[in-house]
Amino acid sequence: RSAMSGFFGGGNQQPRPKICPSCGTLVGINTTRCHQCGTNLTFSMAAINRRFSGFFGGRAPITTALLIANILLFGVSVVATLQTGQGSGLRILFSLDSEVLYRLGALWAPAIVHGEPYRLVTAMFLHGGLIHIGFNMMVLMDIGPVVEEVYGSARYLFLYTATGIGGYILSAFTPFRPHPALGVGASGAILGL
């Protein structure tokens, strides 16, 4: 662009002011922080959010990314369940193979105690059946964009993750269960939203 600008007579252009990616305010040429909202103009989640919204489309890129991640992992779970021979008939509607879900990272309290805390996060992206993921993703599509627009993408992702982990901690270590059970689903994170 700069090489061609001299050819068309525009070789002496001044630097242009920036626009804040968070609030849209016009800021100075050499400014590093927005004077209106305080967003860092060199690196900010708002700028990353704008880039993701161009890629995923819409005003809620984190919600879209969460939907895609949940659906992809459900597809992996279904394929793995079908390979074990457990997914015949209408069983996929209600339950997938528990061994497959465990290997993909489902929550199991003894595993967390024995050094696998990543299961608190991975279990949020696994679901037990088509009806389970259907209802969870329907609610996420309904409230997710609203919450993301109000709080911003970074806070929204933190809220989703923190409430999901909190829900699984309460679920895994509740004293009312006599035997530990597998836990999967985004219900705790969605309830947190």
Nearest CA-CA partner of 51 in 43, 41, 42, 61: 61
pLDDT value of position 138: 95
Angle between helices 130-151 and 61-84 in degrees, nearest 10: 160
pLDDT value of position 188: 92
pLDDT value of position 97: 86
Task: Please give the Cα distance from 115 to 131 (Å, whole number).
Answer: 31
Q: How confident is the chain (193 residues) per 10-residue block, as mean pLDDT? A: 55 70 77 77 63 61 92 93 80 85 90 89 93 94 91 90 93 70 90 92
Total H helices, total E strands in the chain: 10, 2
